[in-house]
Amino acid sequence: MVREIDWAQIVSVATRAPSIHNTQPWRFTATADRLDVFYDRRRALPVVDPSGRQQLISCGMAVAFAEVALRAAGFAVEVELMSDPGHEDHLARLRVTGRARPDGDDRALADAIAQRHTVRAAFEPRAVPAELLDRLEREAGAHGLWFKVITRSEEEVATVFLLSQAEELEQRDPAYVRELESWVRTDPATIDGVPADAVPAGDPRDRPSNWLIRDFAVSSRERHSFRAPQDLDAPPPDVERPTVVLLGTANDHRISWLEAGQGLGRVLLVATTAGLVASPLTQALDWPATRSRLRQRLSLIGHPQMLLRVGYPPPGLELVVTGRRPVGDVLSVEPAC
Ligand SMILES: Cc1cc2nc3c(=O)[nH]c(=O)nc-3n(C[C@H](O)[C@H](O)[C@H](O)COP(=O)(O)O)c2cc1C
């Protein structure tokens, strides 16, 4: 029999996982030695994510974080995905099988959970070393994900173009804008959604970067407004050149999305232990047309699941900690029978 597990503590760590628009589309039930993870459809994003792909990726990350938390707390754990064919929203079962001494990696990854935050600010102008990218690729590969650094200029041009095209399509879609707005928060004490101050001020199109971050304040801007030319005598701004990686899977089923989330969760934690920060740029993957064009233009074998900007945070950057729903809202603990 396993010593009593503090499920509230484990779930509070698991829910630090990133999720699209910080929707936190998960709920958990726990018994003495088991944690079940469910998709919470009440938090769906029918416009931007009608298939639930990005939300299942988010839930997969929460599964990975729960596993890391359990191992760091000294438990051996087995994870089964979608093991209940009669219950579509039952995503994962983590079964604690006994005690196991955590190693240094388990502890480092667990510590990284509280340190990881999505960083959309411009990164330091220094490249991520190749050995570190190799390490992230190995971590991704160990979880069935392929990992492609966008380096060749024609791949960069195609990806940047599709990203901008997708962002443009989204901004023209009133249903998309309404849905996005409903997840943007101005109250700093918020428990879900994307806080306005987690997003750099100003129009993302004005940033000196090819990589357009998602515009969370699109409705407050004048569409196609004429923008005054910059001061022509001013020195040109430094162009941000982040490392951008595309991660994907061989298949594109619900279970593949969940597995992708598990792998991505681990990749983000390993990146955090190495001092890196990241932000997803998923606009081009939101829409079947731009997603499949990305596959063609980059000759991908398999299915892209996540585009990530990765780099070093600028000195003095204040990290914005996004809210989470209280554990009591997402966890029910069932008495042992
Ligand atoms: C599947 C997925 C897609 C996401 N897409 C974007 C995106 O396109 N642009 C962006 O700025 N953030 C994106 N995010 C980041 C979320 O907004 C972020 O994880 C959430 O607000 C919680 O903040 P945190 O990661 O700092 O904890 C995405 C996250 C996930 C899991």
- Residue 1 CB neighbours (<10 A): 7
Task: For residue 246, give Cα distances in angstroms to 40, 164, 264, 285, 300.
Answer: 27, 16, 11, 10, 10
Residue 286, amino acid: D
Confidence at residue 240, expressed as pLDDT on a 0 to 100 scale:
82
Residue 35 β-bridge partners: 30, 94
Measure the CA–CA gap between 17 and 22, rounded to whole angstroms: 9
Domain spans of the chain? 7-116+322-333, 130-217+239-311
CA angle 13–332–93, rounded 5-degree value: 65
Classify domain 130-217+239-311 by CATH number. Answer: 3.40.109.10
Ligand 1, pocket residues at CB < 6 Å? 18-22, 54, 57-58, 117-118, 120, 194, 213-214, 279-283, 322
Q: Do domains 7-116+322-333 and 130-217+239-311 have the same CATH topology?
A: yes
Confidence at residue 209, expressed as pLDDT on a 0 to 100 scale:
87
- pTM given for the model: 0.95
Confidence at residue 227, expressed as pLDDT on a 0 to 100 scale:
54
Beta strands across the sheet bearing 331-333: 75-81, 90-99, 34-39, 26-31, 331-333
Measure the CA–CA gap between 63 and 13, rounded to whole angstroms: 10
Q: How far is the CA of 79 from the centre of ligand 1 (A)?
A: 24
**Helix locations, 73-150, DSSP H:** 104-115, 130-142
Classify domain 7-116+322-333 by CATH number. Answer: 3.40.109.10
Q: How far is the CA of 133 from the centre of ligand 1 (A)?
A: 21
Mutating to test ligand 1, I would choose from 282, 290, 320, 325 the residue with most ligand atoms within 8 A of its C-beta, which is: 282
Confidence at residue 232, expressed as pLDDT on a 0 to 100 scale:
66
**Run means of pLDDT, 10 residues per run, the chain, 337 residues:** 85 98 98 97 98 98 98 98 93 97 96 98 94 98 97 94 95 96 92 94 87 88 57 70 95 98 98 98 96 97 97 94 97 84
